[in-house]
Amino acid sequence: MTHSKHSSSSFCILPFVQQFVNTDNRIAPCCISDYSCGGPVFKDSRTFNSEYMKNIRREMLYSKQPKACAICYRDESKGKSSKRIEVNKQFEDWEYTVNGSGYMYTMPQYYDLRPGNVCNLKCVMCNPQNSSKWIEDNHLLEDSYDKVIKFSDETIDDVLSNANQVKRLQLAGGEPFYMKSVKRLLTGLVDSGHSKHINLQITTNLTIINESILQLLEHFQKIVITISIDGIGEVGEYIRFPLNWNKFEENVDKLLEQKQNYDRKDWYFAVNVTKSQLNAEHIDTIIDWCKSKHIYDVDVFDLTDPPVLAEGSPRSDLITWLSALDNHRGTDSKSVLPWIYK
Domain boundaries, the chain: 29-106, 112-341
Q: Is the pLDDT of residue 229 over 60?
A: yes
This prediction's pTM: 0.94
d(CA 183, CA 226): 18
> In this structure, what DSSP letter does residue 55 have?
H
Q: Report strand pairing: 96-97 vs 2-3.
A: antiparallel
Q: What is the pLDDT of residue 200?
A: 98
Grade residue 2 by pLDDT with cuts at 50, 70 and 90.
low
For 35-63, how does the pLDDT look when each residue is reduced to its tens digit (9 = 90+)? 888 899 998 999 999 999 999 999 999 99
Picking from 146, 153, 158, 81, the residue whose alpha carbon sits closest to that of residue 117 is 146
For 173-189, how does the pLDDT look when each residue is reduced to its tens digit (9 = 90+)? 999 999 999 999 999 99
For 149-166, how does the pLDDT look when each residue is reduced to its tens digit (9 = 90+)? 999 999 999 999 999 999
Picking from 180, 22, 228, 186, the residue whose alpha carbon sits closest to that of residue 116 is 22
CB within 8 A of 322, min separation 6: which ones?
Answer: 333, 337, 340
d(CA 290, CA 283): 11
Q: How far is CA 201 from CA 103, 112, 118, 270, in A?
A: 28, 9, 18, 11
Tell me which CATH homologous superfamily contains domain 112-341.
Aldolase class I (3.20.20.70)
